[in-house]
Structure formats: structure tokens, C-alpha cells
Amino acid sequence: MFKKSQFVVVLAASLFAVSGAPSGATVLGFPKALNWAIESVEANKPAGEELSADFPCAGNFDECRGQPQKASLLNFPKALKPQLERLPLDSMALPPMAHSVFCYQYPQDCVVRKMAFRGRKYELTAQRWQDLVEINTKVNRSIRPERNTLGYAGEKWIVAPASGDCNDYAVTKQHELLARGWPSRTLLLAEVVTHWGEHHLILVVRTASGDFILDSMHQRIRPWAEAPYRWVRVQSPRNPRAWSTIRTIST
């Protein structure tokens, strides 16, 4: 079971690993029970450059490498950390039209699955973390990036196409995690806007250890607050067909 104090330690280890620590380096005093977290950081770390699987990065890689990075959760006041660990949902929002069409084509991906009693959080075990790493890496590498040049008229969300845009990456990751038994309430599609103004679809994974994002533009799985995006709307954990706005957090 992941406690909040352990989560902070895991984040610290993640920063240590990603910041260029030599492979196999040991964090002194790190609990043996959390060794899987250090190992998964290494496994989750991209070989060479960070994977670019969406169009802006595919065509403007230098611009994407220069994205402003959000400060780590460790830098925020302790009273604010609980708010930043979970994406704050606000009021109801209209779902994207393309998602409504997607639910018609893939109805089993738009039904409530394993909805437990209210308040229960999904524990992020070593095996579940490995699920996220495997699916994120597999999907990012298996779909060839293809720009949608037709705008909203050409927007289609397809599971596991040979080529596609960010929407296809996100729904494929959700589809595969649902197939592995993840509850629908933990896998939320989210619409965001990049710093260069392009709308982008990602997958938010809600766990007892915080909310993480699986992104077609990044191989590394990150806490949601570290993503340099403006948040627009996200699926509701209560109903996969419903969407919600995001409440602004005042720091």
C-alpha cells in the first residue's frame, strides 16, 4: 500500500533517477519495500531523447524540448500537496462530440466497470505501476503519428490504428488498461491545451497515490501537476460518458 509519505519519497527517487543519476545508483536509507518504485523509474526512463509521438513534437521537436516544466510537488507547501496529488474536478461539461461517436462505436469502453463504494481509492501496487509503464510504452511505439488535416470534420477516435493522432493514443491506452481489469473510474480521458495553443488528448490515471498522466508526447509517466498544459475538461469518474471542467487551484 502506498502512503502519502511513501509517495513523496517515491517522487524524490524519481527526480533523482530522471535528473541523471547513474544506472544502478542506490538511494541510501530507501526502504526495501519501495525498491520496485526505483526500478520502475529506470524502466520508465526513455532511452536517449524523450519519445515524441504527437504532431507538434514530430514536426517541431526543438520547441517541445523547450516546454516549460512545472515545479515538482516537493516544492509546494505541505498544505497544498493533497490538492495537487489529485486533479480537482469541478462542474459538468459537454463531452467532445468525437467522444460521443466513439462511445457509439466502442460501447464497452463507455460503461461503468467495477465501481466500488464511494470514497474508495485504487491502490497503486507494483504490478499496476508496471501495467501503466508497459501500456504507455507499447502504445506510444505501436501507432505511427499522423496529423489530422481536416480539423473537427476529420476527428475520429480509433482503438489501435496503424497510424493516428493523440486521440487514438489516449483511447487505445484506456482500452488496454480496461482489458487488464482496471476500473473505469480510474481511467479518465482529458482534453488539454499545449503552450503553443494546440488541443491535445491524454489519459489521466487516478490512484490512491495521486493522479498520473499517460501522454503520447512523453514516454515518462508524470504526476498530473507536472504537465505543462492548460486543462479544459476531463471524463467523470462516475460515468465514462459524462465530462467535467477542472477547478483552478490557487497557490
pLDDT digits (tens, 9 = 90+) for 166-217: 999 999 999 999 999 999 999 999 999 999 999 999 999 999 999 999 999 9
In the prediction, which pLDDT does 15 show? 43
In the prediction, which pLDDT does 78 show? 44
In the prediction, which pLDDT does 85 show? 81
pLDDT reading at 52 higher than 70: no
DSSP-derived secondary structure letter, 125: -
Sorted by where each starts, the structural domains of the chain and their CATH numbers stand as: 1-45 (no CATH), 51-246 (3.10.620)
Q: Report in angstroms the alpha-carbon separations of 77 from 13, 83, 142, 251.
A: 19, 11, 40, 9
Alpha helices in the chain (DSSP H): 4-18, 35-44, 55-59, 61-65, 81-85, 97-105, 126-142, 166-179
pLDDT higher for 233 or 148? Answer: 233
Report the alpha-carbon distance of residue 33 to residue 181 in Å, rounded.
25
pLDDT digits (tens, 9 = 90+) for 107-164: 999 999 865 545 578 999 999 999 999 999 999 999 999 887 766 666 889 999 999 9
Q: Report in angstroms the alpha-carbon separations of 83 from 15, 56, 203, 249.
A: 20, 30, 19, 8
In the prediction, which pLDDT does 177 show? 98
Share of the chain above pLDDT 90, in %: 53
Most distant pair of Cα atoms in the chain: their distance: 56
Residue 239 bridge partners (DSSP): none
pLDDT reading at 56 higher than 50: no
